[in-house]
Amino acid sequence: MSTTIDLEALGDSAAIPDRIARFPFPFPRDTYRYSTNVEPAGSVVETPVGGWGTHPVDVDGRYREDLAERTRILAEDPTRFQALPHMEIAQWDAMLTLMRMLTDAHPETFSLDGDGAARRFTNRALGVEQSFVFGDPSTLPEPPLLFVGRHLQEDVVLLDQREGALWGDAGLVTFAADWSLRFDVGMSFLQIHGPVPRVHTEGVIPRAQQFLMGLQPGRQYRRTNWSLSVDRLLDQSTETYPVWGRDRRLLAEGPLEDVGRRLNLRVEVQHLVRLGVSGAIMFLIRTYLLPFEDIARVPEWAERLCRVLEELPEDMADYKGITRTREPGVRWLRTYGGVRS
């Protein structure tokens, strides 16, 4: 079912602001461990204050702001877009699929006209209209994945399937959480996950790869991932570590009162889609940030987040880069966030 969305109305006017009502709180229980946590996409996940998950591409009240940020990042560092030469058709496939997804989700804002190879894409929120011929690069101002990436808030990675494995051979990633597309491009799925603790001995990543390699065209699955971030900084890629790495220490050394405003639960909603024309896997990563003071407005969330952070084993906390910030986070939740038990 498609929903109509008025971009201007998605502000903070409701009693429960949209950023909280639509937040994908990621913890189904009081402890967190890695698992091959995939489920079919498309159904709404209800939360105590609302829900999320209607569409694989999610346009929200920060649409223009996030896309302006993406444009700024790409101008400063064009290597956030990567595509190996054999991924040309996968890029076109991804572009058309994403345009259809945007149009299905918000037909009042986006449209895709024409059939066969000649098409016209319209984005009324950004005032963009682009005609193109599928597969003909001279009809677009830039590579297809880069072009469509300027119309959605999600990061995108495209994986080629060959030699019994998946390869991260193209992507547009401006909002990475402590990794680098430039470094990872061309790597296998197993190599990309090399730095993650536990998952190799526990078989999580080989199982995920088997699952993805069997994905049928048009089928969509999703999963979540999470960490903590200081301030609303979407771009936390390895390249900009000097900008955001220092803030973790400064937050931990600063006044406890500031933690609720500055420390965010950072959640990625990831969609996995097999593309029909190229056979590539499209991996969408959407990043949501919610400050602890907003989490505390939902008592069930505050309690659960507090327990998960207290219990998380050291090696996982270390990998997630939250060894300095989780302790002030827990103290803030217990002192100001209403967590008593």
Q: Given 100, 182, 223, 334, which residue is catalytic?
A: 223
Please name the residue ranges forming H helices in the chain. Answer: 18-21, 63-76, 88-105, 144-149, 181-184, 189-192, 204-213, 241-253, 259-262, 292-295, 299-311, 314-320, 326-335
Give the separation between CA 270 and CA 45, rounded to whole angstroms.
14
**Do the strands 50-52 and 45-47 form a parallel or antiparallel pair, or are they unpaired?**
antiparallel
- Angle formed at CA 268 by CA 267 and CA 269, multiple of 5 degrees: 120
Smallest Cα–Cα separation from 325: which of 296, 293, 292, 299? 292
195 forms part of the interface with ligand HEM (CB under 6 A): yes
Residue 161 bridge partners (DSSP): 166
Q: What is the DSSP string of 202-265?
A: TTHHHHHHHHHHTPPTT-EEEEEEEEEEESS---B-GGGHHHHHHHHHHHHHS-GGGHHHHEEE
Please confirm, yes or no, whether 331 is among the known catalytic residues: no
Backbone angles phi, psi at 132, to 5 degrees: -155, 160
Closer CB to ligand HEM, residue 69 or residue 160?
Answer: 160
143 forms part of the interface with ligand HEM (CB under 6 A): no
- Nearest-approach distance from CB 289 to ligand HEM, in angstroms: 14
Segment lying near ligand HEM (by CB under 6 A), choices 30-38, 78-86, 229-237, 249-257 = 30-38
Segment lying near ligand HEM (by CB under 6 A), choices 111-119, 121-129, 132-140, 190-198 = 190-198
Site size toward ligand HEM (CB under 6 A) is: 21
Contacting ligand HEM within 205-224 (CB under 6 A)? 208, 223
Single residue of 23, 81, 132, 283 touching ligand HEM by CB under 6 A: 283
Single residue of 53, 143, 168, 328 touching ligand HEM by CB under 6 A: 168
Single residue of 47, 122, 225, 323 touching ligand HEM by CB under 6 A: 225
103 forms part of the interface with ligand HEM (CB under 6 A): no
- Nearest-approach distance from CB 117 to ligand HEM, in angstroms: 29
Segment lying near ligand HEM (by CB under 6 A), choices 5-13, 70-78, 189-197, 255-263 = 189-197
Q: Say which residues have a Cβ less than 8 Å from residue 232's Cβ, sequence separation at least 6.
A: 264, 289, 291
- Nearest-approach distance from CB 37 to ligand HEM, in angstroms: 6
Residues annotated as catalytic are: 223
Q: Catalog residues that contact ligand HEM under the rule CB under 6 A.
A: 34, 36, 38, 157, 159, 168, 179, 184, 192-193, 195-196, 199, 204, 208, 223, 225, 227, 283, 319-320
